[in-house]
């Protein structure tokens, strides 16, 4: 239903809030540099990360590599305050988004989640919700209002950026659960992009996908990095070499917490690593 506000300008009734709102474009602040400063983490008494510091530059893809159990995924979840959802979890250190600590006492958790989005290993669209509403789900969660035309434009824009628009543009009202695994993952990327995050975290986004779907996700990552800072956890060394600009190698010795052995330019780390442990890992001698 379209009506007018008190100025006579057309307005839409927002389907999420049932209020009259002016159509507008949802705007973000652009890619941000993310910095971890002396991050340590525990699950109960078990320490899983020890004083990890890493700068993840804006408009770059940073890959986190290392064997299972070295703390990569825990570190990733700390970056947007998901670690604290676990009752036994605790941490020390700071996470800085363009210099502002996302863990500051007065800063809401929703602020971190909106600015630092997350795509998980297993695609998790809302299966009974339409593709259209899946993309817009984050607007409701973040209390972002937009008119009907703006929502339509946003859905097309985000699905296009996620490399999915051409495949689904004629079936936007079908449920998200009807898509293939690779399409569902790209739908989740589109959903994350809709709230204009400044950083996008990806936890092994291709591990459950076939080679063709993996290639599409990697193409999407390459196209997105000029608009959003990307941090990706991957066990696939070829993928890390293909998609990332910078790389951090995590390692945990038996009985000790994870730490970063080496980080820097991806090409340099793969071609001439400074640490013998890095050389062994990227060349497949362990892990």
What are the φ and ψ backbone dihedral angles of 262, each rounded to 5 degrees? -160, 145
Higher pLDDT, 217 or 254: 217
For the chain, what is the mean pLDDT?
88
Q: Encode pLDDT of 138-153 as tens digits.
A: 887 777 888 888 899 9
User: Helix 131-141 vs helix 148-161: angle between axes, to the nearest 10 degrees?
Assistant: 110
How many C-beta neighbours within 10 Å does residue 44 have? 10
Token reading at 236: 């696939």
Residue 141 parent element (H or E): helix 131-141
Distance CA 14, CA 286 (A): 54
Q: Indicate the length of the chain as a whole number.
A: 287
* Segment holding 101, helix H or strand E: strand 100-101
Residue 284: the pLDDT is 86
Distances (CA, A) of 60 to 34, 108, 243, 244, 274: 11, 26, 10, 7, 22
pLDDT the model gives residue 16: 43
Domains of the chain as residue ranges with CATH: 27-282 (3.40.50.300)
The pLDDT of residue 25: 46
pLDDT tens per residue across span 49-83? 999 999 999 999 999 999 999 999 999 999 999 88
Q: Two tokens at 16? A: 């999420």
The first and second tokens of residue 273, run together, are 């690593």
Task: Provide the whole-model pTM.
Answer: 0.86
What are the tens digits of pLDDT across the range 76-111?
Answer: 999 999 888 888 999 999 999 999 999 998 888 888
Is pLDDT at 26 greater than 60 in this prediction?
no
> What is the bridge-based pairing of β-strands 246-251 and 61-65?
parallel
> What is the rounded distance in angstroms from the CA atom of residue 156 to the CA atom of residue 166?
10
Euclidean distance between the first and the last CA atom of the chain, given in angstroms as a whole number: 58
């Amino acid at each position: 239903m379209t009506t007018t506000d008190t100025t006579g300008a057309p307005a839409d009734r927002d389907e999420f809030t049932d209020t009259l709102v002016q159509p507008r474009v949802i705007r973000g602040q652009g890619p941000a540099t993310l910095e971890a400063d002396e991050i340590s983490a525990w699950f109960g008494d078990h320490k899983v990360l020890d004083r990890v510091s890493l700068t993840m530059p804006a408009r770059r893809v940073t890959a986190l590599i290392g064997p299972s159990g070295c703390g990569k995924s825990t570190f990733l979840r700390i970056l947007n305050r998901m670690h604290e959802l676990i009752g036994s979890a605790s941490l020390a250190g700071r996470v800085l988004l363009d210099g502002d600590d996302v863990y500051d006492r007065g800063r809401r958790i929703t602020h971190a989640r909106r600015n630092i989005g997350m795509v998980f290993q297993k695609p998790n669209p809302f299966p009974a919700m339409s593709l259209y509403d899946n993309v817009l789900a984050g607007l409701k969660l973040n209390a972002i209002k937009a008119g009907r035309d703006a929502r339509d434009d946003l859905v097309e824009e985000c699905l296009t950026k996620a490399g999915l628009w051409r495949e689904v543009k004629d079936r936007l009202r079908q449920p998200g659960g009807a898509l293939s695994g690779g399409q569902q993952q790209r739908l989740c990327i589109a959903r994350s992009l809709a709230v204009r995050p400044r950083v996008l975290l990806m936890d092994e986004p291709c591990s459950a996908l076939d080679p063709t779907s993996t290639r599409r996700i990697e193409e999407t990552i390459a196209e997105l990095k000029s608009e959003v800072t990307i941090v990706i956890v991957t066990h696939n060394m070829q993928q890390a070499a293909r998609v990332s600009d910078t790389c951090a190698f995590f390692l945990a010795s038996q009985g000790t917490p994870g730490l970063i052995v080496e980080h820097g330019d991806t090409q340099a780390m793969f071609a001439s690593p400074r640490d013998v442990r890095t050389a062994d890992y990227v060349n497949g001698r362990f892990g």
